[in-house]
C-alpha cells in the first residue's frame, strides 16, 4: 500500500474547500487592536508619568535642600507654602540687604527675662533672632554682628534681644545643638555655650559631638546636669519647639532671621543696616 | 491540494522596509486556510490567523526575509495547540461547511467523522510530524517546509515519510484498519 497516498487522502478531507477568508475585515480588526493598544500604552505612560512626577514631588518635598543660599539657610519647603511678605529692597545707600515688612509680628507674650533674653524688658524695641546652630551664616551673624548689636543697643537698654531656636530639617545636629545650648542656659551658661557651639560649628557638624564642645565651657559638675536635661528633660525640647512654632507663626523660613518690631532682616545682614533701621526709631521725636 | 504559489519565496522583504499591510493581504487568506484545516472552525481560524499576524507585528526580528516561514510555523502551531487544548468547535463546522448537494446525509456524516478522526490523529502525533503533514497538505514545497520548520532541505523527504508512517500507525491504532484498504 502507498502510505503517502493513503495519508494524503486522509488529510485532503481537511481541505476547507472554496472558503475565502475576509482579509480586509481581518486587517481592519488588527488595526483597531493596534489603535487600542496604542491608546492603552499612552494611558499607561501618562498615568506612569503622573505617578513619577508625584513621587518626585514628594521626594523633593521630603528631601532637605542644600544649604547654599547666600542669604542664609532656607527651610525645606515641607511645610505649607511660606509667604514671606513682598521683599522690598531698599535703595543701596539706605539698606542693600532685603528688608522685609512683616505682617503683624507675633511676639511671645511678655514674661520675665530668661537666659535667651538680654536687655531691658522695657526696651522700646524688641528684636528676635532666629538661628540654626548648624547654619554657617548664623554662626557668622551671631559671632560678628550680634556682639556689636548688644554693645550698642542692648546693653544701653534700647533693645531687648531674644535669641530663638529654629533648627532646620536639613541640618542633622542643629536640634541637638539647640537642646545643649538651652540645657546649658538652664545651668547659667547659655551665652558661653551658644558662642562655643557656633564657633566650633565646623567641628561638631561632622560627627554631632556637641557635647564635647559644650563641655569645654561648662564646668564638669554642671555639665552632668546639662547632659541629663538634654537626655531626659522635656523642657529642653519644649524650649526649641516653642521657638519653632513662633517662627512658623511668623512665616519665617530661613536663618538667620532678625525681626525688630515689624521689620524682618534675613540672611547675612550687616550691622550698619540694622543701625539704619534702629536709629530713626530711637531718635527723639 | 491548494498550492500557495511559492508563498514563502515571494516574501523577499527586508525588515527595515517591511510593508506589513501588503504582506498581510498576500498571506492572510492562505494562513487562515492552513489553520482552518486543523481547527475546522472558520471563524476560529480567522481569529488565530489574525493572532499570528499580530505576533508577527509584535516581533520585529521575525519581520524580514524569514517572515513567511516564521508565520507559517507560528500559524500551524497555534492551530495544533487549539486542537490539543480540546477547544475545537466542531459544532460550528457543520454550519460553516455546507455539504455539497450531491452527498447524502450519511455521506456528510461520514465525511465529518473522518475529518474528526484525522484531526484527533494529528493531535496525538509528535508536533514536528503534525506540522510537516499539515503544511505539506497545505501545498508547501520541500524548500518552503525546510524554511518554515528550520529543517535541512535534504532531510525533508525522509521526515515526511516518517511522519506519514507515524500518522497511519496512530490512525489505525485509534480507529482500526480502514475498510476497503482506504
Calpha distance A176→A187 (Å, rounded)? 17
Residue A2, in any domain of the structure? no
Q: Other CB atoms closer than 10 Å to residue A76's CB: what's the count?
A: 17
Say if CB A63 and CB A229 are below 8 A apart: no
Domain co-membership, A167 together with A52:
no
Residue A16, in any domain of the structure? no
CB of B53 less than 8 A from some CB of A: yes
Say if CB A8 and CB B2 are below 8 A apart: no
Residue partners of A65: CB distance under 8 A and separation at least 6: A74, A76, A77, A170
Range of the domain at A185: 73-282
CATH number at residue A276: 3.40.30.10
Instruction: Please give the order of strands across the beta sheet that includes A117-118.
Output: A87-88, A99-101, A263-266, A257-260, A125-131, A159-165, A117-118
Domain co-membership, A99 together with A222:
yes
Give percent of chain A above pLDDT 70.
81
Which is nearest to A186 in space by CA: A149, A239, A132? A239
**Minimal CA separation from A38 to chain B, in Å:** 12
Domain co-membership, A36 together with A142:
no
Calpha distance B43→B89 (Å, rounded)? 10
**In chain B, whose CA is at the least distance from the CA of A17?**
B97
> Which residues on chain A are in Cβ contact (under 8 Å) with B29?
20-21, 23
Calpha distance B15→B83 (Å, rounded)? 32
Is the ipTM beyond the 0.85 threshold?
no
Domain co-membership, A121 together with A232:
yes
> Which residues on chain A are in Cβ contact (under 8 Å) with B119?
14
Say if CB A269 and CB A141 are below 8 A apart: yes
A-to-B residue pairs, Cβ atoms closer than 8 angstroms: 91
What pTM value is reported for the model? 0.47
Q: Supply the DSSP string of B88-130, one letter for each residue.
A: --HHHHHHHSPPPTTS-HHHHHHHHHHHHHHHHHHHHS-HHHH
Average pLDDT for residues A127-143, to the nearest whole number? 92
Which phi-psi region, left, alpha or beta, contains residue B152 (left: φ > 0; alpha: ψ -120 to 50)? beta
Say if CB A201 and CB A136 are below 8 A apart: yes
**How confident is the model over B1-59, as pLDDT tens digits?**
444 444 444 444 444 567 888 888 889 999 999 999 999 888 889 999 999 999 888 88
3-state secondary structure of A163: strand
**How confident is the model over A18-53, as pLDDT tens digits?**
888 888 888 888 888 888 888 899 999 999 999 999
Structural domain count, chain A: 2
In the structure, what pLDDT confidence band is assigned to residue A134 with cuts at 50, 70 and 90?
A: very high
CB of B118 less than 8 A from some CB of A: yes
**In chain A, whose CA is at the least distance from the CA of B26?**
A23
Residue A89, in any domain of the structure? yes
Q: Other CB atoms closer than 10 Å to residue A88's CB: what's the count?
A: 10
| Three cell numbers, residue A268 | 547675612
| Three cell numbers, residue A14 | 481537511
Q: Other CB atoms closer than 10 Å to residue B72's CB: what's the count?
A: 28
Domain co-membership, A51 together with A116:
no
**Minimal CA separation from A174 to chain B, in Å:** 58
Domain co-membership, A28 together with A95:
no
**Minimal CA separation from B41 to chain A, in Å:** 10
Cα dist from A6 to B1, B95, B137, B168, whole Å: 14, 28, 12, 8
Helix (H) or strand (E) holding A98: none
**How confident is the model over B96-155, as pLDDT tens digits?**
555 555 667 777 788 888 888 999 999 999 999 999 999 999 999 999 999 889 899 999
Amino acid at each position: 500500500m502507498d502510505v503517502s497516498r493513503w495519508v494524503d487522502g486522509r488529510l485532503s478531507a481537511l481541505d476547507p474547500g472554496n472558503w475565502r477568508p475576509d482579509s480586509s475585515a481581518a486587517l481592519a480588526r488588527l488595526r483597531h487592536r493596534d489603535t487600542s493598544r496604542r491608546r492603552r500604552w499612552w494611558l499607561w505612560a501618562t498615568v506612569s508619568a503622573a505617578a513619577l512626577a508625584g513621587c518626585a514631588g514628594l521626594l523633593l518635598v521630603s528631601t532637605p535642600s542644600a544649604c547654599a543660599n547666600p542669604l542664609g539657610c532656607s527651610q525645606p519647603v515641607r511645610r505649607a507654602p511660606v509667604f514671606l511678605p513682598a521683599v522690598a529692597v531698599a535703595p543701596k545707600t539706605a539698606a542693600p540687604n532685603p528688608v522685609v515688612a512683616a505682617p503683624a509680628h507675633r511676639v511671645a507674650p511678655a514674661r520675665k527675662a530668661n537666659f535667651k533674653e538680654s536687655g531691658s524688658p522695657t526696651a522700646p524695641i524688641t528684636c528676635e533672632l532666629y538661628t540654626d546652630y548648624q547654619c554657617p551664616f548664623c554662626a557668622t551673624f551671631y559671632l560678628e554682628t550680634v556682639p556689636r548689636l548688644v554693645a550698642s543697643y542692648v546693653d544701653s537698654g534700647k533693645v531687648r534681644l531674644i535669641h530663638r531656636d529654629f533648627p532646620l530639617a536639613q541640618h542633622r545636629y542643629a536640634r541637638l545643638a539647640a537642646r545643649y545650648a538651652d540645657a546649658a542656659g538652664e545651668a547659667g551658661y547659655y551665652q558661653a555655650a551658644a558662642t562655643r557651639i557656633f564657633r566650633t560649628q565646623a567641628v561638631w557638624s561632622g560627627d554631632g559631638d556637641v557635647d564635647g564642645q559644650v563641655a569645654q565651657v561648662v564646668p564638669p559638675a554642671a555639665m552632668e546636669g546639662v547632659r541629663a536635661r538634654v537626655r531626659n528633660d522635656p523642657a529642653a525640647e519644649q524650649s526649641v519647639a516653642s521657638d519653632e512654632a513662633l517662627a512658623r507663626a511668623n512665616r519665617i523660613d530661613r536663618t538667620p532671621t532678625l525681626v525688630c518690631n515689624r521689620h524682618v532682616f534675613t540672611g547675612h545682614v550687616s550691622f550698619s543696616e540694622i543701625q539704619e533701621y534702629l536709629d530713626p526709631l530711637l531718635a527723639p521725636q | 491540494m491548494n498550492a500557495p504559489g511559492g508563498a514563502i519565496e515571494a516574501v523577499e522583504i527586508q525588515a527595515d522596509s517591511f510593508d506589513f499591510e501588503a504582506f498581510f493581504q498576500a498571506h492572510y487568506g492562505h494562513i487562515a486556510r492552513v489553520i482552518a484545516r486543523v481547527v475546522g472552525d472558520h471563524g476560529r481560524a480567522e481569529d488565530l490567523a489574525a493572532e499570528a499576524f499580530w505576533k508577527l507585528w509584535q516581533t520585529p526580528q521575525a519581520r524580514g526575509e524569514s517572515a513567511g516561514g516564521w508565520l507559517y510555523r507560528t500559524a500551524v502551531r497555534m492551530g495544533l495547540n487549539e486542537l490539543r487544548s480540546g477547544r475545537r468547535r466542531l459544532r460550528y463546522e457543520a454550519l460553516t461547511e455546507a455539504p455539497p448537494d450531491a452527498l447524502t446525509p450519511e455521506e456528510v456524516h461520514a465525511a465529518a467523522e473522518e475529518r474528526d478522526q484525522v484531526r484527533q490523529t494529528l493531535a496525538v502525533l509528535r508536533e514536528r510530524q503534525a506540522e510537516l503533514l499539515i503544511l505539506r497538505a497545505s501545498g508547501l514545497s520541500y524548500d518552503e517546509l525546510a524554511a518554515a520548520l528550520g529543517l535541512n532541505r535534504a532531510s525533508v523527504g525522509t521526515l515526511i515519510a516518517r511522519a506519514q508512517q507515524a500518522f497511519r500507525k496512530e490512525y489505525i491504532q485509534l480507529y482500526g484498519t480502514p475498510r476497503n484498504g482506504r
